[in-house]
């Protein structure tokens, strides 16, 4: 089954494909589906933003669409960067900005989580959202070269997300958690 990913982010496309292809889905970008748009993410929650993105692509294609809104929530920063994760700082300064704000924060107060909310809109306009999370801590420095975004400072056990292999990350990540719930919800509806 073909499903449009309401994103042109190559990293997200790779992760969605790695997780959904074994489930029988062929993931294509919205540009490949003829819906090369940039929806305005003006929601106040991950749920609202994922729906806005999915609906924009669905309205143009009338085909099954999946969209996600994801980000990092740091407890000691009152949930920041949250829905503003991608726009929290210059793209090459995201990790540094969080590390700077947390330079004097002790280990026990460095708790954080990645959140991913996936919204699906089916061929007939039916839709649902699911939320996935992955709990961890903010490290003290960037570690690893895999992954993207905040992965080098997000510690999952003794390793950062950027030190995990794609297979390891895809088995525990917030996106994997959300996509497992997506698959279960989709299968219940059939």
* Each residue's pLDDT tens digit, 106-159: 999 999 999 999 999 998 999 999 999 999 999 999 999 998 899 999 999 999
Give the tens place of pLDDT for each residue, 16-53: 888 888 888 899 999 898 888 888 889 999 999 999 99
Give the tens place of pLDDT for each residue, 87-99: 999 988 999 999 9
pTM of the model: 0.90
List of long-range contacts for 71-74, beta carbons under 8 Å, 24+ apart: 71/46, 71/114, 71/115, 72/98, 72/112, 72/113, 72/114, 72/115, 72/149, 72/150, 72/154, 73/112, 73/113, 73/114, 73/115, 74/98, 74/102, 74/110, 74/111, 74/112, 74/138
Higher-pLDDT residue of 36, 168: 168
pLDDT of residue 91: 83
Hey, what are 24's tokens? Answer: 């029988």
Q: How many CB atoms lie within 10 A of CB 127?
A: 14
Residue 189 pLDDT > 70, yes or no?
no
Residues annotated as catalytic are 69
Residue 102 pLDDT > 90, yes or no?
yes
Hey, what are 33's tokens? Answer: 């589906």
| Of 148, 168, 160, 68, the residue nearest 112 (C-alpha) | 160
Counting every residue, how long is the chain? 190
- Over residues 159-182, the mean pLDDT reads 93
Dihedral angle, C-alpha 38, 180, 148, 60, nearest 10 °: -10
CATH number for the domain spanning 25: value is 3.90.950.10
Check if the beta carbon of residue 59 is closer than 8 Å to that of residue 84: no
* Domain span holding position 148: 2-189
Give the tens place of pLDDT for each residue, 45-70: 999 999 999 999 999 999 999 999 99
Residue 76 pLDDT > 70, yes or no?
yes
Range 50-89 burial, b when 16+ CB lie within 10 A, else e: bbbbbbbbbebbebbbbbbbbbbbbebbeebbbbebbebb
* Distances, alpha carbon 154 to alpha carbons 70, 88, 150, 190, in Å: 14, 16, 6, 37
Hey, what are 97's tokens? Answer: 């900005």
Number of domains in the chain: 1
pLDDT of residue 24: 85
Q: How many CB atoms lie within 10 A of CB 106?
A: 8
pLDDT of residue 117: 97
């Amino acid at each position: 089954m073909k499903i449009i990913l309401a994103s042109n982010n190559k990293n997200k496309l790779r992760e969605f494909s790695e997780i959904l292809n074994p489930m029988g889905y062929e993931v294509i970008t919205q540009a490949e589906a003829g819906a090369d748009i940039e929806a305005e993410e003006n929601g106040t929650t991950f749920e609202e933003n994922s729906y806005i993105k999915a609906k924009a692509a669905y309205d143009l294609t009338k085909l099954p669409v999946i969209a996600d809104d994801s980000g990092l929530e740091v407890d000691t920063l009152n949930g920041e960067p949250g829905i503003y994760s991608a726009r929290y700082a210059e793209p090459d300064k995201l990790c540094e900005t969080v590390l700077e704000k947390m330079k004097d924060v002790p280990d026990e107060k460095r708790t954080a989580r990645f959140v991913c909310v996936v919204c699906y809109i089916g061929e007939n306009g039916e839709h649902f959202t699911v939320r996935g999370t992955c709990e961890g801590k903010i490290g003290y420095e960037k570690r690893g070269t895999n992954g993207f975004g905040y992965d080098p400072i997000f510690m999952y056990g003794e390793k950062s997300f950027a030190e995990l292999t794609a297979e390891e990350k895809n088995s525990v990540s917030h996106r994997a958690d959300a996509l497992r719930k997506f698959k279960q919800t989709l299968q219940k509806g059939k």
